[in-house]
Chains A and B, each alone.
Chain A
Amino acid sequence: MAGSIPGSDLAERTAGLSAPASEPVRAKRWRRLRRLARARLAPFGAAVMLLAVLAALAAPLLAPYDPLAQNLGNALARPGRVHLLGTDNVGRDVLSRVIWGTRVSLVAGLVSVALAVVAGSLLGILAGYCGGRVDGLVMRLMDAVLSFPPLVLALALGAVLGAGLSGVLVALGVVYTPTFARLMRGQVLSVTARDYVDAARALGASGWRVAWRHVVPNAMNPIIVQASLSVAFAILAEASLSFLGLGIQPPQASWGSMINAGRGYLQQAPWIVFGPGAALFVTVVGLNFVGDAVRDALDPRMRG
C-alpha cells in the first residue's frame, strides 16, 4: 500500500500528472520482463512452453501417424523404431495421440484462464468501483463459488453443461473467476486511493476513462502474475476432468483420457499411461517455471 505512506508514491504522482499513466507502466513492465531471461529455471520453462505451442500448432505435420487410425493387428506394441512410444489397446500410435493431445491441453489451459481473467476482472472492477451493495453482492457471490472444492464444482458444472471441451472450459473458467475478481477488486481499491486518480478526476476525466486509462493498467501486474501461474493448474484440472471422463470425448485424444484408457493395461503396456503422463508432467513443470519467472519479474515483493 504505497499510497498510505506520504511521499512514497511521489514518482508515480508526477508521472500520473505529466503523461498518461499507462505509458511508464508499460515501459517498466517490459524492462521487468527482460529480467525473465536471467531467472534460473525460466529457460527450461520457456523451452517446454515453446515446444508445447509448436506441437499444438503443427500437430498435423509432426504426428507420424493418424491419431485416430486403429490397427488391431498391432495393438499394445512396445515402443520401438516404428512407434516411438508404442501403440495403445486398439493399435493407435501413442506419440501421435500425445502430440494431438497437446492442442486440447493448451487450449483448455489458455481459454479457461482467459475466461476467468475477463470475467473476474470485470466483476472485480464492478465491485471495487461501485462499492456498497454491489460490492457486497459480487464478493459474496465469489465467496460462494469459493465454498466449493474446485474439482467438485468443475465436476458438477461439467456434468450439467454436458460432456465436451466447451463444458469443461466454462466450468474451469467459473472455478478460477473468484481469484481474479478478488485480486482486481483489491487492486482497484488501492489504485483509486492514489493521488493521480484524484488528479485525473479533477481534470474532468469520466469515470470509465479513469478506470480504463489509469486504474486497469496499474492494476494489471498481479493479474498477469496470477494468470501465468493459473495456466499450469488449469491444464492439470482439464487432465483430471478428462481422466474422469468429462471433457473432450473419445476417440479424440487428450492426455487425461489417454491415461484413463491406459490404466487397465498397466501390466502389459505401461507406455500407454507413461507417454501422455510424461507429457503432462513436463508441461506443467515447465509452465510453473514460466509462471514463477513472470512473478519474479513483475511482483517486486517476491523478488530477493
Chain B
Amino acid sequence: MGRLVLRRLGATVPVLLLVTVGVFLLLHLTPGDPIDVMMAESVDATVKETLRRELGLDRPLHVQYAAWMGRLLRGDLGRSIRNGEPVIESVSRRLRPSLELALCAMAISLVIAFPLGIVSAIRRNTTIDRAGATFALFGICMPNFLLALLLIFLFGVTLRWLPISGYTDPLEEPWNGLRSLALPAVTLGLALAAVVTRTLRSSLLEALAEDYVRTARAKGLSEWRVIWSHVLKNALIPVVTVLGLQLGTLIGGAVITEYVFALPGVGRLVVDAVFARDYPLVQGVVLLIAIGFILSNLIVDVLYGWIDPRIRSR
C-alpha cells in the first residue's frame, strides 16, 4: 500500500511541474501586451511601468519563471493587482463556502443515487428502472446553469420557499445556512447523482451475474443480504472511479453554481478574476485548483487500491 502511494506521488511530480509551466505561460498567451490588457488605456504610463517591473515582465522568460517558481515554493502565490490581497488569503477566505457546497452536493447525490441505482439493478427493465434511466439521461444532458435557473424559478420565484442567492454560513446559523445552500447543492448534486446512478446500476448488474452470487443465493440467503454483503462492495469500485473522474466536472459545475447563486466561493473568485482581467489572481487560483484536483485524484487512486487489493500489486 505504501509503495502504491509512493509510485503515484512520483508520477505526479513531473505533471505538477508542467502544470506550473502552463499556468506561468497563461499570462504570456494574451494577444498583445498583458499590461495593456489588464489596465485601461487611460492609466498613467509610469503606473504601468511599475506593475511591469513588479510582475517582472521586463525580464527574459526563463528568469521570470525561475523567480515565479522560487516564490511559489516559499508559498507566495502572488497578489491581486486590483486590491493587492495575497492570492492565498483570497482563496482561503472563500474555501469554506465551496467545501460546504461540495459536501452537501455529494451527500444529496449519494442519497439519490444509491437507492435508485440499487432498485434499478434489481428490478431491471421495469418502470422504476426506466424512470431511473430517464433521470440519469436528464441529469447528464441538463446544463448546470439551466437547472439552477429552473430551481430558482420553481422554489425561489414561484413558491418562494428558498432564498435564490447569497450565502449564510451554516456553521454559524445552521438553519438559514442550510437554506442558503439548498438550491446550489441540489443543482450540483442532481448532475452527480445521474452519473452515479448509471454507473452503480451497470456495475451492480455485472456483479449480480458472478458465480459467487449464485453460490450465495444457493446457500439460501435473502436477496437483500446477497446485495448488501456480496454484491455492493464489488460494485462500488467503478463508482469510486467514476466519482474521481467526475471531480473535474464537479469543480466546473461548482464554478457555475456559485456564479448563479452568488455564493462567495473559490469558483466565483475565478470568474470574478477572469472578468476583472486580474491575471496574477487568475494564475494563482487556477494553480491552486489544479493542485487540489491533482491531490484529490491521487486520493481516489489510493482509495481504489484500498478497496480492491488486486490494484495494489499491479
Q: Which residues of A contact B (CB under 8 A)?
A: 140-141, 143-145, 147-153, 155-162, 232, 236, 239-240, 243-246, 256, 259-260, 263, 266-267, 270, 273, 277, 280-281, 284-285, 288
- Which among A145, A157, A244, A266 is the interface contact of B259 at CB below 8 angstroms? A244
Q: Are A155 and B142 in contact (CB under 8 A)?
A: no
Q: Are B153 and A240 in contact (CB under 8 A)?
A: no
CB distance from A274 to the nearest CB of B (A): 9
Q: Measured between alpha carbons, how far is A116 from B35 in the docked complex, in Å?
A: 31
The answer to whether residues A156 and B256 also contact, given A243-B145, A266-B157, A281-B141 and a CB cut-off of 8 A, is: no
- Which among A149, A239, A263 is the interface contact of B252 at CB below 8 angstroms? A149
Contacting residues of chain B (117-150) with chain A, CB-CB under 8 angstroms = 137, 140-146, 149-150
Contacting residues of chain B (217-272) with chain A, CB-CB under 8 angstroms = 247-249, 251-253, 255-256, 259-260, 270-271
15 pairs of residues in contact across A and B, judged by CB atoms under 8 Å: A141-B18, A144-B19, A147-B19, A147-B290, A148-B293, A151-B256, A155-B271, A156-B286, A159-B277, A240-B145, A245-B275, A246-B274, A260-B145, A266-B153, A288-B137
Which 8 pairs across A and B sit closest by C-beta, in order of nearness? A151-B252, A144-B18, A149-B251, A149-B248, A159-B274, A160-B29, A284-B141, A277-B146
Q: What 0/1 readout, one digit per residue, does chain B (7-18) give for beta carbons within 8 Å of chain A? A: 000000011101
Q: Are A244 and B149 in contact (CB under 8 A)?
A: no
CB distance from A282 to the nearest CB of B (A): 9
The answer to whether residues A151 and B251 also contact, given A159-B274, A161-B29 and a CB cut-off of 8 A, is: yes
Nearest A-chain residue to B286, judged by Cβ: A156
- Which residues of A lie under 8 Å from residue B274 when comparing CB positions? 155-156, 158-159, 246
Q: Measured between alpha carbons, how far is A37 from B293 in the docked complex, in Å?
A: 41
- Which residues of A lie under 8 Å from residue B150 when comparing CB positions? 277
CB distance from B229 to the nearest CB of A (A): 29
Nearest B-chain residue to A145, judged by Cβ: B22
- Which residues of B lie under 8 Å from residue A148 when comparing CB positions? 19, 22, 248, 286, 289-290, 293
Flag whether B31 is at the interface (Cβ < 8 A): yes
**Other contacts beyond A161-B30, A239-B145: 19, CB < 8 A:** A141-B18, A144-B18, A144-B21, A144-B22, A147-B16, A149-B289, A149-B293, A152-B251, A152-B289, A156-B26, A157-B26, A157-B29, A236-B141, A236-B143, A243-B256, A244-B259, A273-B146, A277-B149, A280-B143
The answer to whether residues A263 and B260 also contact, given A150-B248, A155-B274, A288-B140 and a CB cut-off of 8 A, is: yes
Q: Are A280 and B26 in contact (CB under 8 A)?
A: no
Q: Are B15 and A140 in contact (CB under 8 A)?
A: yes
Q: What 0/1 readout, one digit per residue, does chain B (81-103) give for beta carbons within 8 Å of chain A? A: 00000000000000000000000
The answer to whether residues A144 and B27 also contact, given A149-B249, A149-B293, A152-B252 and a CB cut-off of 8 A, is: no
From DSSP, what is the main secondary structure of chain A's interface residues?
A: helix
Q: Measured between alpha carbons, how far is A29 from B206 in the docked complex, in Å?
A: 29
- Which residues of A lie under 8 Å from residue B275 when comparing CB positions? 159, 245
Q: What 0/1 readout, one digit per residue, does chain B (145-162) give for beta carbons within 8 Å of chain A? A: 110011011000100000
The answer to whether residues A147 and B252 also contact, given A140-B15, A161-B29, A277-B146 and a CB cut-off of 8 A, is: no
Flag whether B167 is at the interface (Cβ < 8 A): no
Flag whether B195 is at the interface (Cβ < 8 A): no
Flag whether B294 is at the interface (Cβ < 8 A): yes
CB distance from A286 to the nearest CB of B (A): 9
- Which among B16, B29, B146, B255 is the interface contact of A152 at CB below 8 angstroms? B255
Flag whether B24 is at the interface (Cβ < 8 A): no
Q: Are A244 and B271 in contact (CB under 8 A)?
A: yes
From DSSP, what is the main secondary structure of chain B's interface residues?
A: helix
Q: Measured between alpha carbons, how far is A139 from B134 in the docked complex, in Å?
A: 37
Q: Measured between alpha carbons, how far is A236 from B286 in the docked complex, in Å?
A: 21
Q: Are B144 and A240 in contact (CB under 8 A)?
A: yes
Q: Measured between alpha carbons, how far is A267 from B153 in the docked complex, in Å?
A: 7
Q: What 0/1 readout, one digit per residue, does chain B (39-70) give for beta carbons within 8 Å of chain A? A: 00000000000000000000000000000000
Flag whether B279 is at the interface (Cβ < 8 A): yes
Q: Are B29 and A288 in contact (CB under 8 A)?
A: no
Flag whether B196 is at the interface (Cβ < 8 A): no
Nearest B-chain residue to A277, judged by Cβ: B146
- Which residues of A lie under 8 Å from residue B142 when comparing CB positions? 281
Among A159, A243, A246, the one with the most B-chain Cβ atoms within 10 Å of its Cβ is A159
Flag whether B282 is at the interface (Cβ < 8 A): yes
CB distance from A128 to the nearest CB of B (A): 19
Q: Measured between alpha carbons, how far is A161 from B27 in the docked complex, in Å?
A: 10
Q: Measured between alpha carbons, how far is A145 from B248 in the docked complex, in Å?
A: 12
Nearest B-chain residue to A167, judged by Cβ: B31
Q: Measured between alpha carbons, how far is A152 from B23 in the docked complex, in Å?
A: 12
- Which among B15, B140, B157, B271 is the interface contact of A144 at CB below 8 angstroms? B15
- Which residues of A lie under 8 Å from residue B157 when comparing CB positions? 266-267
- Which residues of A lie under 8 Å from residue B18 when comparing CB positions? 140-141, 143-144
CB distance from A251 to the nearest CB of B (A): 19
Q: Measured between alpha carbons, how far is A198 from B128 in the docked complex, in Å?
A: 52
Q: Are B255 and A155 in contact (CB under 8 A)?
A: yes
Q: Are B143 and A270 in contact (CB under 8 A)?
A: no
Q: Measured between alpha carbons, how far is A157 from B22 in the docked complex, in Å?
A: 10
Q: Measured between alpha carbons, how far is A149 from B144 in the docked complex, in Å?
A: 15
Q: Are B279 and A281 in contact (CB under 8 A)?
A: no
CB distance from B63 to the nearest CB of A (A): 21
CB distance from B64 to the nearest CB of A (A): 16
- Which residues of B lie under 8 Å from residue A140 when comparing CB positions? 14-15, 18
Nearest A-chain residue to B289, judged by Cβ: A152
Among B146, B149, B289, the one with the most A-chain Cβ atoms within 10 Å of its Cβ is B146
Q: Measured between alpha carbons, how far is A144 from B24 in the docked complex, in Å?
A: 13
CB distance from B28 to the nearest CB of A (A): 8
